[in-house]
Amino acid sequence: MKLFTPIKIGKLEVKNRIVMPAMATGFASEDGQVTERMISYYEERAKGGVGLVIVEFCGVERRGRPLPMQHMIDNNLSIPGLQKLVEVIKKNGAKAAIQLHHGGIKASAKITQVQPVGPSDFPPYPAGMGPPPRALTMKEIHELVLSFGEAAGRAKEAGFDAIELHGSHSYLIDQFISPRFNQRTDRYGGSIENRARFACEIIECMKEKVGKDYPIICRMTGDDYVEGGITLQDARITAKLLIRSGVDCLHVSVGISDNMIPTLPMSIPDGFFLHLAEGIKKEVDVPVIGVGKINSSEFAEQALNEGKCDLVAMGRALIADPYLPKKAREGRAEDIIPCIYCNQGCITRISDWLDMTCLVNPAVGRESGFQIVRAKVPKKVLIVGGGPGGLEAAIIAKQSGHDVVLAEKQEHLGGQLNYALKPPKKDRIEKLIDYFSNQVKKLGIKIYLGKYVTIDFVKEIKPDIIVMATGSTPRSPDISGIKRENVYWATEVLEGKKVLGKRVVVIGGGQVGLETADFLAEAGKDVMVLEMLSEVGTDVPPRNKMFLMKRLLEENVQIFVDRKVEEIYDKGIRADHFGLHEEFKGDAVVISVGSKPDRSLMEELKEIIPELEGFYMIGDCVEPRKALEAIYEGAHVAREI
């Protein structure tokens, strides 16, 4: 496969074409230093067989920080920690680069305690967040150019093989290049050449500090996807200017706008941004890295063979499974943990100023303490429930050497994942169910499907440990008429139960309610959503919500907030809206107002629980949440057994 052939970036040879792009983790210390947690995280990715690791965005100036726990390279105190990080990456066979960054107008005054700066005076970005940024003076621009150059020198001293300049995602360098942000009238504004001048001067300064043969990569925007922003035509010109200044490789992404984001959800097609890399590649003679939901070796190979790029960035896919390259090369595709692009554990947590984790890989950020250790005394473990938490617990317990039995009352594994994959454009969840199913079968775990666990069954199995992963059931609100024949539960609808009538009212505007509305609208129904809160989708990751709400708008789904449903009748519902009583006509009503723990088995088992060596509860049977918590709890409990 071309994917596993070497390639040169300048004079640096990389062993294969797989790049781990820079992705914020939140693992740095409060003062921006490398931590052991960071080192373990990157070490695991390097062990997995990736060719080039680009360490997450590293600040060159304190006032440019958009996030807390961003690591810094603004003084020499950072060098020893970075040297340790470089060492573990390189000793495991990968090349190490580091991304240099400044947030510009996206810096947080709450973190930096100073007014953000950018190419021009600009409204707060995002709107309503902190003081409005001010335009940099000429003196400050020259000082920033030097800051980038000195940071590059520190990176080289720390042992990095290359540097990546962050010139995308609407951060400072991208702000200068984009006419959307840059309204200057001096030599740094106006024409494309002037707007790119800041980036070009930084590159030239870095080359002076590190030498002309030291590789420099630039992450650049191929399109802003917004009127008045960067277009692919602009990007082609900018690319040539960057190369003329000394760039050895281009990493083509997008700017962040109201229409587009780099961290695409599962609803957007794989490889969505590859045409931008292809558009740049046609114009330049340096390697080009393609990005945008490249999640398998087969898809990556296709992109390379079609000439869309020279290397592929596999970001969230390598968070989900750091050993993806190694497994792919060994022909073990079924063992690769699939990223489902839910955005829950990674970008949503980072945006909320939390540390990163991963729904499908709970070991993320816990690498040093989450290794699987063989049990000294193997136990017989009964897992009750074949949802994501129960499946994860079964796999880890079996890998630890225990004798594992899993019982699921449904005729199939996956639990509520089977409902989650039914709405439009969520079929990637099926890959996670397939992965779990393949692993439990491959490990030889005894599985009982269609088995409702009873005390007699437990006595027959004779487990030492029971792990309860029985999930949750839909919550029934106190609404008059809820037992009418025209009332359905969201889970029933997603299972395939036919909803009679044309007009449907969905009660509940959380993620399940909105996705059920999407499901019904795609089936040709006229749909209304009623939510008692003042906002819908509060439990949907913001980046995913943007695309979901756009689809609902295109499908003419009507959304009403601040409506508390009081009564369901044969032709619709009545709701209270700040004391006013409103009627909404509908042939059918779908209920989606949350869940409650399913602990129905607890009462029957309580008499034998004291006789067990261990009894654990995980996932929704503790408290209804998301698969992220269920899988983590399954992984954690299985390691404790």
Listed in sequence order, the DSSP H helices in 308-352 are 315-320, 324-329, 349-351
- Per DSSP, the three-state class of 66 is coil
Is the CB of residue 359 less than 8 Å from the CB of residue 627?
yes
Instruction: Pick the closest to residue 599 from 621, 615, 618, 616 (CA basis).
Output: 621
Extract the tokens encoding 566: 């009081």
- Is 225 an active-site residue? no
Q: What are the backbone dihedrals phi and psi of residue 55, each rounded to the nearest 5 degrees, phi first?
A: -65, 140
Read off the amino acid at residue 373. Answer: V
Strand partners, 135: 118
Comparing CA positions, the residue from 408, 472, 466 lying closest to residue 440 is 408
Listed in sequence order, the DSSP H helices in 425-566 are: 429-442, 455-461, 490-495, 511-522, 542-554
Cα 613–chain centre separation: 38
**What Rg do the C-alpha atoms of the chain give, in angstroms?**
27
Within a 10 A sphere around the Cβ of 534, how many other Cβ atoms? 8
Neighbours of 212 (CB within 10 A): 9
Question: What are phi and psi for residue 418, nearest 5 degrees?
Answer: -65, -30
**How many other CB atoms are there within 10 angstroms of residue 636's CB atom?**
17
How many Å apart are CA 409 and CA 3, to the nearest integer?
43
Exactly one of 41, 125, 171, 225 is catalytic; name it.
171
Closest among 1, 189, 172, 206 to 101, alpha carbons compared: 172
Task: Work out the angle between the directed axes of helices 197-210 and 232-245 (0-180°, nearest 10).
Answer: 30
CB 641 within 8 A of CB 491: no
Cβ proximity of 362 and 630 under 8 Å = no
DSSP assignment, residue 72?
B
Is residue 456 exposed (0-12), middle (13-18) or buried (19+ Cβ within 10 Å)?
A: exposed
Here the tokens at position 13 are 């040879």
Q: Identify the CA nearest to 152 among candidates 201, 100, 83.
A: 100
User: What residue type is 256 in one-letter code?
Assistant: I
Terminal alpha carbon distance of the chain: 42
Cis ω before 119 (30° cut-off from 0): no
What are the tokens at 497?
């139960």
Q: Which residue has the tokens 């001048």?
A: 197
User: Which residues are tagged catalytic?
Assistant: 171
